[in-house]
Amino acid sequence: MIMWKRSLLLIQVVFLSLCSHAEVRNSSFLFDAPTAYINKGIFYEGTIATTFTGTDDPYPIDTDLHFMASLFGKLELTLSFLTFSDLRISPSIKYNIVSESEKIPAVSVGVLNLFTSKYISSVGGSKNTVWSDDSSYIPEYIRCPEHNSLFLVFTKDMGAWGRYNMGFGRGCFVGYGPRSRQFNTDRFYHWSDTHSDAIGMFWGVDIELGYNIRGGFEFDGRDFNIGLKFKKEGFEVSFLAAKLEHRLGGSPNFTPRIDLSTTFNSYFLRRMPSPPKVGAITGDVVDRNSKIPIGATITVKGAEIPSITTDAEGRYAVTIAPGSYLVRAEAEGYYWMEKKVYVRERMQTICNFELKKK
């Protein structure tokens, strides 16, 4: 069984390497390609994704921010801050139309880069602002505009065999390289005859590797990417090698890009230990007649804290949770005394004692 799974994975890697811009947007994406999954309940997260390229690239490093919110497994909204050298704010939306069942995959529709610039990528907001490897395809291969990238995607979890993802879309899902062009409708035309509304195909798979790690690969419509995800409740870390087609028989002079991303979500915020809600009881203990400080023992009834002793000046202080308490002061040769106090959060409650000699 294990050998069959490994063989299947190897076959798909080899096939994808023959065809092959990467950014990890959020946890509902495989890596750079969307899945049909949407988080249940009211869910939100933030992702910071950094891409490293070769030193000869005009954009050797790029960082993007993505903020996502989803509602009840049906609607997902993402706001991406891209191209910090030429800032573009890119909203996206996804809606689940069919929930996954034992025999039926999940199906969702959506739009990436909604109402943004006609051309938008991780590093620029114009037609000629691209990574150095992409620029080698222009003008021989024409770049399809990325705005309003409508897509339809199917996702099915096959258990130990992995989760499979396949979709169709326009815009950023339409590749303009010599290989990715073979997987969109423009392949049926002359290379110089391209269409802004061409439809491209994207797909991918990830599989559980153990220790909260999933490994996967994808063809996002333009590039072949392979990566790992480490996921715990509350956060996720992704490592992605993008543009691998350059090393797998494409253009070996170009270096594959490396993406690192970290995501924190609403579960992380709920699990973060909140600062303790505490207040304080302070005061001093003196002789009723002479007003001289007394070395006394202070006990707070109703709180699981040990008794304390006043200092040389008869003062004491107790940090304690908000609430009502009975404070008792007693000293050798004096009658004990008790006072009821109410402690408020981040407030000091003063409780002084004047003890009477026996």
Question: What DSSP string runs through 178-236?
Answer: TTGGGGBGGGGS-TT---TT--EEEEEEEEEEETTEEEEEEE-SS-EEEEEEEEETTEE
Closest CA to 40 of 78, 76, 73, 75: 73
Strand partners, 176: none
The pLDDT tens digits of the residues spanning 216-271 come to 888 888 888 888 888 887 778 888 877 776 555 555 456 667 777 777 776 655 55
User: How does the average pLDDT of the chain come out, rounded?
Assistant: 80
Report the topology of domain 2-271: Porin (2.40.160)
Please provide the CATH number assigned to the domain covering 279-355. Answer: 2.60.40.1120
Tell me, what's the pLDDT at 97? 95
Closest CA to 297 of 320, 331, 337: 331
In the chain, where are the structural domains located?
A: 2-271, 279-355
The pLDDT tens digits of the residues spanning 174-199 come to 887 777 878 888 877 766 666 677 89
User: Which residues of the chain fall short of a pLDDT of 50?
Assistant: 1-23, 252
Distance CA 112, CA 43 (A): 19
Flag whether the pTM goes above 0.75.
no
Residues 6+ apart with CB under 8 A from 314: 284, 285, 286, 293, 294, 295, 296
Tell me, what's the pLDDT at 180? 80
ω before 256 within 30° of 0 (cis)? no
Tell me, what's the pLDDT at 71? 85
